[in-house]
Amino acid sequence: MGARKRLRAEKLKAEKRSIAIASLRECPTSPRKMRLVADMIRGVEINRALGMLRYSKKEASVRLEKLLRSAIANWEAKNQGVSLEETPLCVKTISVDGGRQLKRIQPAPQGRAHRIRKRSNHVTIIVDRMEIAAPAVKEAAAPATETKPAAKKTTAATTKKATTTAKKTTAAKTTTAKAAADVKPENAAN
């Protein structure tokens, strides 16, 4: 193993020490239904995410709540010296992938059969510490950049209005020219 590869492997190993992973395999819910609930808690602090899952009406929220609790327990096992109350954790990433499909047949009219696909999914949750210092830097830089796009929007809107007005003027000229051309042959025939 080369030096760069070894250093990269050590860096990845050190990063994996701070995160906790929990996965759910072959969950008998369609991936689309599970993604609706997963999108709710992505990037959210864990206590808030647990509350959202607890009081959600979706069936998938029960399974995701159990999986999130498992990820939190995995984080506690990796970081035994650190208190959970002192460390703000969040759902860093959550991914829902399609699992295997059970294919069944349902009787249909006139002797036909319709295929039913009973879908399943795989869910992976990664829990990590929240990054609190990073948003403060972005907020300081945000006001300076917000003024520039506003100016661009007004110039874009002005340009759009000008082109729309020019198109209307051109259309009006062509309409009047056609009307004038239509009038002349009729007068000439009389």
Burial, 33: exposed, middle or buried (Cβ in 10 Å; 0-12, 13-18, 19+)? middle
Does the structure show a pLDDT above 60 at 95? yes
What's the pLDDT score for residue 22? 95
The residue that leads in pLDDT, 86 or 112, is 112
| Distance, CA of 64 to chain centre | 17
State mean pLDDT over 85-95.
Answer: 92
CA 109 to chain centre: 41
**Of 9-18, 140-149, 168-177, 178-187, where does the model show the most confidence?**
9-18
Per-residue model confidence (pLDDT) at position 190: 45
**Averaged pLDDT, 138-166:** 54
Mean pLDDT of 1-20: 88
The model carries a pTM of 0.64
Identify the CA nearest to 70 among candidates 110, 123, 21. 21
C-beta of residue 72 within 8 angstroms of C-beta of residue 93 = no
Q: Assess whether pLDDT exceeds 80 at residue 177.
A: no
**Per-residue confidence (pLDDT) for residue 139, from 0 to 100:** 53
Cα–Cα distance between 53 and 40 in angstroms, integer? 9
3-state SS class at 83: coil
Rounded to a whole number of angstroms, the distance between the first and last alpha carbons of the chain is: 99
CA 114 to chain centre: 33
The H or E element that residue 71 is part of is helix 60-78
Split at pLDDT 50, 70, 90, the class of 18 is confident
Structural contact between residues 37 and 53, judged by C-beta atoms closer than 8 angstroms:
yes
Under 8 Å between Cβ of 98 and 118: no
Q: Do residues 65 and 41 make contact, with C-beta atoms less than 8 angstroms apart?
A: no
Q: Please report, for the chain, how many H helices and E strands are present, in that order.
A: 5, 5
Q: Lowest mean pLDDT of 1-15, 100-114, 171-185, name the range.
A: 171-185
Does residue 73 surpass a pLDDT of 50?
yes
The whole-number pLDDT of residue 162 equals 59
The per-residue pLDDT for 169 is 60
- 149: pLDDT strictly greater than 70: no
Where on the phi/psi map is residue 26: left (φ > 0), alpha (ψ -120 to 50), or beta?
Answer: left
